[in-house]
Structure formats: structure tokens, C-alpha cells
Amino acid sequence: VKAINLTKYPPEDDEGKVEYKLKIVRDNLEKVEKLASQLKYRLAEGCGEAFYIIGITDDGLPEGLNEEELKKSLNILSEACRVVGAKVLRIRERRGRKGKVVELLIRTCREERPPITITVTALGNVDAGKSTLIGVLTTGKLDDGRGSAMKMIARYLHEVESGRTSSIYSRPLGFDVNGRVVNYSLSSPLNEAEIYLNSFKIISFVDLGGHERYFKTTLRGVMSREPDYVMLVIGANAGLLKMGKEHLGISVALRVPLFAVFTKMDLAPPHVAQRNLRDFIRLLKMPGVDKLPLIVKEVDDVVLAARHIQSGRVVPIFSVSNVNGKGLDLLLRFLNLLQPRRRWEENLKKPFKLYVEDVFNVKGVGAVVAGLVLSGSISEGDRALIGPFKDGGWREVRVKSIHLNRVPVHRVSPGQYVTLALSDISFEEIEKGQVVLDNRVKPRSVTSFKALVTILKHPTTIKRGYQAVFHCHSVRSTIAFEYMDKEPLRTGDTSKVELRFVYHPWYVEKGSIFVLREARTKAIGSIIDIKN
Ligand SMILES: Nc1nc2c(ncn2[C@@H]2O[C@H](COP(=O)(O)OP(=O)(O)O)[C@@H](O)[C@H]2O)c(=O)[nH]1
Ligand SMILES: [Mg+2]
């Protein structure tokens, strides 16, 4: 395995949101213009956010600048920022060969753009402190160790929520251009509409709300919301228990980068917290998991953590107390710097696609479906297809209205978790796992497909005819093994297989990653071909 050097900068990339500058000098006015247009490009690449590192060469060598050179460089860069309407934040400083190297975060302050949204799913054992941590982070009010943070959330939600019930829910944490938490300045810190309107970046925390004990809900939380990151929460006094280990396994298997938060630092005796941290680190380094722990102790580590977590190899580890607030500042700084993993804009030109994760019957409105927009966009009044139904058929429906973060909107785009009110169909007819598609596509109702499957765990052997539950996006359905290149299959085996949906056709695509599960069996696979 290739080692990652956390303190070295890789050579500069022409694409992307990171720019290196050794020194910025003013020769004439044109220079600022040129700098501004380059900045605009970097900002566009980062959806309104860019990183500038001053004092290093394009090869990533930290030369460093003296105070005078640095001041001049920053002045010119600030001018360029004014031209494009952006803000500069200094996030990290270190010594180079001849002086300082400064890392900057630049954000556009233009109002029109929607906030960058990053989905973080909280996993970990029941009682680890997940809901409390999310509550404390999103309200800014500390917990009393007896569940007060959650009770407070319930009170706030009573004000803003209209009795929506769902096993999985999300809570937004908004940051403004200056990296300040928007929630804390609101009279109701969980007012989604206000957060959405005032934030530059939103961390949308997904909480399984007590359902983390069920493998299938956990999978749903990780698969259908396509999180950018998993936040593995561990009680410092109890350590990573059995369920937490299972959650770590799921995140690793699905290749979702993760960070860990040890809570209850106020409660755990230091030697117990130390031992549990050591055990967790040992687990991270085990073959098959193969991660690089990064213990975050100071601001410097935060910047490294936010940069390197994206590789999927590095696992930043935080230690906090939800009761005395210790460590939360570093975690908040980290969240403010966290980058979206997926470039959703690339999916904008593709046909509309949304898997139905939830169905509601709303009084006076009718059938409402909720799900993540995976590609394309849809507007109020548009027609769309929904299906497949049990007989393989599809139905045309009309989108009556759209809600995003409880705010009515006319149009939605990829990466947004939305609800669509549909007409020409009734609530009873819709099933979770169906897909809403652009009505110009001719969708296939898939019954069989070829896949590459790896058996993560199975007590005996798998032969033809074996059945398990297939999980992909929000599809949950029984499949049967029709054929396998290698028969029988045992734990650790990887093989090409043919799978068939036993009771119901579904819409799945080549390249989709799925999980198979049955009693004590777990397997992961990817679809390589659709059969008809
Ligand atoms: N002393 C202390 N108690 C905490 C802390 N975080 C959570 N708790 C308490 O631990 C209990 C379980 O927390 P909860 O958020 O429900 O855990 P979840 O099941 O992972 O969502 C609650 O009574 C919290 O008040 C902490 O940092 N310190
Ligand atoms: Mg909870």
C-alpha cells in the first residue's frame, strides 16, 4: 500500500479548485484582471469555493515568503477577490524554506447561488451520542448528559415541522461566507428555510434516529442518501461496540470516506478513553480496512484532515464532550472546510432521475414522494415517468409542486433531497424503490442482470438458487443467484454472477453498487450488465 505523506503538497493541478502561487507581484493593472479571471475559474471548479496556497512552487515545494512579500501578495489577491466578489479566509500557516506558506480559503459572496450541500451520515452504536452531537452542533446548546439536547430539538422541531415522520431524518448545519454557523444566529436554529437562505455551505446530517440497530436501515441511510462522508460516533467510555464495527465495515465496503468522533470525553476516565482510542486505531490499520488515522488536536490538523479525508484512506479522529463543549470548535472548523465529494453539476445535463425513498399521503395534496435527485432537473408542471410496477409497466405522472428543505421551489437539481407532489397517481400505488424518470427516456424494467460480487461474510457456501435481499439506492428486494462463474461461493470469494429479482422488476443500471444481505450473509457487488 502506498503511504500518504500528509504534510507534503502534491504538484499543482490545472483543473480543480486549488491554486498554488509562489509570490504575487503587481506589474500592471492587467495582472489583477488576469488573477481575477483565474480565480473565477478556480471558484467555478469548486462550486463557489477555492483554495489558494501562497509561498509554494507549482511542484508543491514550500519555499515561503518574507513578511513584506507575503503582505504584497495578499493585497493583490484581495484586490482580485473584490473584482469577482469573493471573501478570503486565512486557514493555515506554516514555515517554508525561506519564510511563510499561507493557505487561504476563498468564497464567493454572490447571493444567487444555492449553498454547497454536503451529506454526512452519522453511524455508530445506540447511545454513542449521535443524535446529541448533531443536536449540539446544529443548535449551539450543550447537553446535560441526560438527553437535554434531544429534547430541545424536539421543541424546536415542533415549531417548524408539520408532523412529518420518517425513520431517517436530516438536520442542517449552515456556514456563512465567513465560516460562521448560521444556525446560532436564528431564533429557531433548526429552521431549514432560514438556514438554506443564509448559508454558503450546508452540512446535512443524516441521523438514523434509533434505527441504527437494524442493518437494513443503516444501509438505507448509507445507500439512498449517497452521503459524502460517514461520521462514525463512538462513546469514549464504551468504545466501538459490535454495531459500530459493523457500521465501519459498511462504510469501508461502500467506499464512503469517514471521520470518527469520540464523545463523552467528560465522562470517560482518561485511561479508558485512551484504551478505546488505541483499539479503534488498531482496527483502522487492520488488513481489509487499511486506513490511516489522523488524530485532530489543533487547528493545523483540521486543515490537513479536511484535505486528506477525500482520499478515503485518511480517517480524521476528533474527541469531544457534548456536555462541556470541549473539542467541538475543532470539529466545527473541520465541517466548515469539508468538501463535497461528488460534482453534482456534471449530472445536470442527464435525464432526470430520483429513487423514491419515502411516500407520503398529504391531506389536500395527495401522493408525495421524497428522494435524492441523482441527475437532471425537473420543474413544477413537468410530466415524468414512475415505475416499474410489479407487472413491469410504467406510469406517466405530473409534478404538481416541489419542496426543497420545506421551501416550495420551481425547479430542482442533482444532489438535492426533495419532495415531489404527483398527480395522476394515488399514494397506494407508489412503492419505495421505484424511480421517477424523465418522460422522454424509454426505461427498462430489469428482472435479471450480471454482476461482480464479493462475499464479505457467509457461514457456509452459496450455490445456484440461493436467495438474499438486494439493496441499491432505495430498492430493497429479493434476488436469486441464477448462475455463478465460481460455484460454490465462500467468504472472501469474488465472482461474476447472474442475479434475478424474484418477485418484482426494478430499475437498476450498469455500474450501480449494491449490497446483498440475508441472515448472517453479507456481500457487495456492482452491476456489469443488464439482461433482458
Ligand atoms: N456526559 C455526556 N453525555 C453524553 C454526551 N453525548 C451524549 N451524551 C448522553 O448520552 C445519551 C445517549 O445519547 P444519544 O444522542 O441518544 O445517542 P445515540 O443513540 O447515538 O443517538 C444521552 O443521554 C446523552 O445525554 C457527552 O459528550 N457527555
Ligand atoms: Mg439517536
pLDDT in tens, 331-375: 999 999 999 887 777 888 899 999 999 999 999 899 999 999 999
pLDDT band at 421 (very low <50, low <70, confident <90, very high): very high
State in Å: Cα 122 to ligand 1 middle.
13
Query: Which of 121, 127, 150 should be mutated for ligand 1, with most atoms under 8 A from CB?
Result: 127
From the CA of 244, which ligand is nearest?
Answer: 1
Cβ of 131 less than 6 Å from ligand 1: yes
Residues in a beta bridge with 353? 375, 437
- What pTM value is reported for the model? 0.80
C-alpha cell belonging to residue 437: 424518470
What pLDDT does residue 248 have? 92
pLDDT band at 161 (very low <50, low <70, confident <90, very high): very low
Contacts of residue 2, Cβ cutoff 8 Å, sequence gap at least 6: none
Q: Whose CA is nearest to atom 28 of ligand 1?
A: 264
Q: Whose CA is nearest to atom 3 of ligand 1?
A: 145
pLDDT band at 532 (very low <50, low <70, confident <90, very high): low
Helix (H) or strand (E) holding 89: strand 86-95
d(CA 35, CA 40): 9
Which of ligand 1's atoms lies nearest the C-alpha of 149? 25
Instruction: Return the beta strands (E) in 405-474 as ranges.
Output: 407-409, 411-412, 417-423, 435-438, 448-457, 467-472
Among the listed residues 309, 305, 317, 315, the one whose alpha carbon sits nearest the alpha carbon of residue 91: 305
Cβ of 375 less than 6 Å from ligand 1: no
Q: Whose CA is nearest to atom 6 of ligand 1?
A: 129
The pLDDT of residue 4 is above 70? no
Give 195: exposed, middle or buried? Use CB within 10 Å, 0-12, 13-18, 19+. Answer: buried
What pLDDT does residue 234 have? 98
Chain segment 19-33, per-residue pLDDT in tens: 999 998 877 666 888
Which of ligand 1's atoms lies nearest the C-alpha of 148? 25
pLDDT band at 7 (very low <50, low <70, confident <90, very high): confident
Mean pLDDT of 412-434: 93
The pLDDT of residue 3 is above 80? no
Residue with cell 466548515: 336
Cβ of 244 less than 6 Å from ligand 1: no
Judged by average pLDDT, the poorest of 63-72, 129-138, 215-224 is: 215-224
Q: Give backbone dihedrals phi and psi of 77, rounded to 5 degrees, phi first.
A: -65, -40
Mean pLDDT of 310-326: 95
d(CA 258, CA 232): 7
Percent of the chain with pLDDT over 70: 96
Which of ligand 1's atoms lies nearest the C-alpha of 132? 15
The pLDDT of residue 114 is above 60? yes
Chain segment 494-515, per-residue pLDDT in tens: 899 999 999 999 999 998 888 8
499 SS3 class? strand
C-alpha cell belonging to residue 232: 462514525
State in Å: Cα 302 to ligand 1 middle.
24
